[in-house]
Structures are given as C-alpha cells and as structure tokens.
Structure 1
Amino acid sequence: MKSIVAKALFNSHSYAEYRKLVTDLLSEGKSTGDEQSESLTHYTSLNEARMNRLEKTIKISEETITKLQNLDNHYIWLVISEGWCGDAAQILPILHKMANESNKKVDLRIVLRDENDELMRHYLTNGGRAIPKVIVICKEAGIVRADWGPRPKGATELMANYKKEFGVIDEKIKTDLQLWYLADKGISVQEELMQIMENIKYDRF
C-alpha cells in the first residue's frame, strides 16, 4: 500500500496545477478521465464556474483555522478527483483554503481517479469508485492515517433518501445536491475533516 500511495504522490498535482489541467482540457472540448462525452464536458464546464465562485466566497471558520494551526504533525491531503465530478468541485476549493490557512501543516495534492486505479481500489465506497476521496497521510511517518469522502454526511443522506424513494439518481437530485452545498457553505466539510484530524492527533503511531 505504501508504494501505491508513493506512486500517486509522485504523479500528483498542486491545486493550481489541477485547475490549469482541467481548464486546458476544456479549451480543447475535453474533460479529465478515460471516458469522453458531451455530458462530461458540460459538467466540467459547470464545475469550473462553481469553483471560480467558491474560491471567492468560501470562508474558513476561525475555529477550523485554529485547529489546523495547532496540529501536532504535518500532513498531506491526497485527493482523488476528476474535473467532471460535481462533489469534487464543491469540496476542493474548501480543502484548498483550509490547507492555505494551516501554516504549512497541510499540503494539498490531487490525483485523477482514472489514472490511479490501483489507489482508487483501496478507497471504494460501498464497492463503487465514488469521488472525491481525501487520503490523510502523515508526512513524518509517511503512512496513511485516515480517509474521508466522497461527501459530507448530510449530502450523503440526501442522495440516499432520494434514491430510496425514487429509485434513481436523476437531474433533480443533482440540482438538489448543489443547493445543499450552497446552503451548507462548506461548514460540514470543515467540521467532519477536522474531527478526523483531531482523532489522529490523539492516536499513537
């Protein structure tokens, strides 16, 4: 497992590099990933607009900033993502701002799911390749300490309840999910991820 993570880190992107990669592909009418289609390119274009907006509007709470800066160790947040993923577009700008507020306690790195299948197979959600997945790696020890994703609990429950009632994941629930993220303002991502980080803080290696 350690070699799989090391390989992924070697091929990972910074947040700025990831944004540029997605933008450059869009200019060619493409998306990231093995599959190419008009719908995936359309979703990628929507995500570009979402991420541009979130980078300007998302606020990291003072409580989260304090907790990040008081972390005992240095960490890498290795995120499995793709440009067409709506959840990733909502979550990555939050992670980026959290990492920037951490006084270099957290280094955010991003890899593409379809280029890292071996890594993805270790972080399936109910047997599926759902993204984004945040893999928390202790820099000093060089080992994975935790993982999180692909969605906050509230968003996961929203999707599960809709599928249970209607039996499908359609455009309506996708719109409802984006509205959930808009109302949540990034709070759930911050709280859930910091709970994980605090649990690591008091856990012996």
Structure 2
Amino acid sequence: MKDIIEKSIQSSLSYSEYRNLISSLLAEGKSTGHVQNEDLRHYSELNVARMNRIEKTVELLPEVVLTLEQLPKKYIWLVLSEGWCGDAANIVPVLHKMAEATAQIELRIVLRDEHDDLMQYFLTNGGKAIPKLLVLDTETLDVVADWGPRPQEAKQLILDYKAAHGVVDEPAKIALQKWYVQNKGVAIQKEVVNLLTSKLV
C-alpha cells in the first residue's frame, strides 16, 4: 500500500487546486469523476455554493485549534473526494480550515475515481463512500488513522431514514443537508480531533 500512497500524494491536489478543478470542469459542463451526467453536474454546482458558504461561516472551536497546534509531529491529511459528493462538500472545507490552523498538518486531496487502488483499502461496508480522511505520518507515510465518510450523528440520521423508508431518496438528502447546516462543522471537528488524540498521542 505504501507505493499506492506515494503515487497518490504525487498526483494529489491542494484545497485551492481542488476547488479550481471543480469550477473549471463545471465551466465545461462537466463534473469530476468517470461518470458524467446532468445530475452530477447539478450536484457539483450546489456543492460549490455549499463550500463557499462553509468557508465564510464555519468557525473552529478554540479547543480544536489548541489540540491541532499541539500535535507532536507533522501529518499529511490525504482525503479521497469528488466534486459531486454532498458529504464531501460539507466536510472537506472544514478539514481545510483545521489544516490551515496548524503548521503540523498538510491537506492533500485525491479524486476517488482516479485512485481506485487506494479507495479499495478504505471501503465502508464494502462501498466506496467518500469523503475518506487518511491521516499519514509525514516521515513514514504510514496510515495512523482514518475517518469518514460522515460524522456519526449524520450517519445515524441516514440509517434511521433508510430503516423507516427503505431508501435514501431526495428528502433524505435534504434532511442530511439541513443537519450539516445546523451543526456548523462542530461534529466534524470534534470527531477528527478525538481520533487524533486517541491514535496519535
């Protein structure tokens, strides 16, 4: 897996490069990923607006900033994502803000469909659910922790909806988006920091 991680990092994007790629593809009427259709392009457009809003409105918790600043060594946060993914649109900007808060973290992003060999190591219940955060030791590139594809409360919301309705349909996606807006990135921050403190200290 080390070879796969090394290759993934070499072809990875910064957050600004990721945002620019999504926008430039949309200008061509496309989305990221191997599949192209009107739905995915539409979701990508929605997600650009979501990411813009999160960048302007989400604030990091003081205790989260303190923990990030006091990390004992440097880490690469390698995130599997796609521009059309609603969860990614709500989560990746928060991870970006967290990485920006400390010199100990470098955030890099790779597209899932272009890195299937890496994705196969981090499936969720056999599926390629994203986003997926891999916490890498900068020196060894060992995966010391992973997180995703969504916070526990959001995960439970979808599980409960599916149990009640048998499907994850548009109302479920709307309910999930409302949860993200109301939570303001707090669950993401807390879960990722808890992961870091439990695995890295």
Normalising TM by the smaller chain, what interval?
over 0.9
Matching residue of 2:67: 67
* Structure 2: unaligned runs, 5 residues or longer: none
Asked if the contact 1:73/1:140 (under 8 Å) is kept, the reply is no
Q: Residue 47 of structure 1 corresponds to which residue in structure 2?
A: 47
Pairwise CA distance, 1:100: 0.5
Shift of 1:113: 0.3
What is the identity, as a one-letter code, of the residue corresponding to 1:9?
I
> Hey, what's the Cα distance between the residues in 2 that align with 1:111 and 1:176?
28
The aligned counterpart of 2:184 is 185
Aligned to 1:20: 20
The answer to whether residue 126 in structure 2 is matched with residue 138 in structure 1 is no
Q: Any conservation in 1 of the 2:5–2:141 contact (CA below 8 Å)?
A: no
Please tell me the root mean square deviation across aligned C-alpha atoms, in Å: 0.6
The equivalent residue for 1:107 is 106
Following superposition, the deviation at residue 125 of structure 1 comes to: 0.2
Paired residues for 1:64-103 under 5 Å: 64-102=64-102
Q: Which residue of 1 aligns with 2:155?
A: 156
TM-score (norm 2): 0.99
CA contact (8 A) 1:29 1:41 kept: yes
Aligned partners of 1:146 and 1:26: how far apart in 2?
Answer: 33
Q: 1:199: how far off?
A: 1.5
1:160-182: CA deviations, max 9, x gaps?
00011111010000000000001
Secondary structure of 1:189's partner?
helix
Higher mean C-alpha displacement, 193-202 vs 142-151? 193-202
Q: What is the CA–CA distance in structure 1 between the aligned matches of 2:38 and 2:141, rounded to whole Å?
A: 40
AA of the residue aligned to 1:94: V
Q: Structure 1: which amino acid aligns with 2:47?
A: N
Match of 2:32 in 1: 32
CA deviation after TM superposition for structure 1 residue 44, in Å: 0.2
Poorly superposed stretches of 4+, deviation over 2 Å? none
Distance 1:29 1:126 in 2: 32
Question: Matched residue of 2:190: which SS?
Answer: helix
Q: Hey, what's the Cα distance between the residues in 1 that align with 2:15 and 2:36? A: 23
Q: Match for residue 195 of structure 1?
A: 194
Look up the match of 1:2: 2
Name the SS for the 1:128 alignment partner: coil
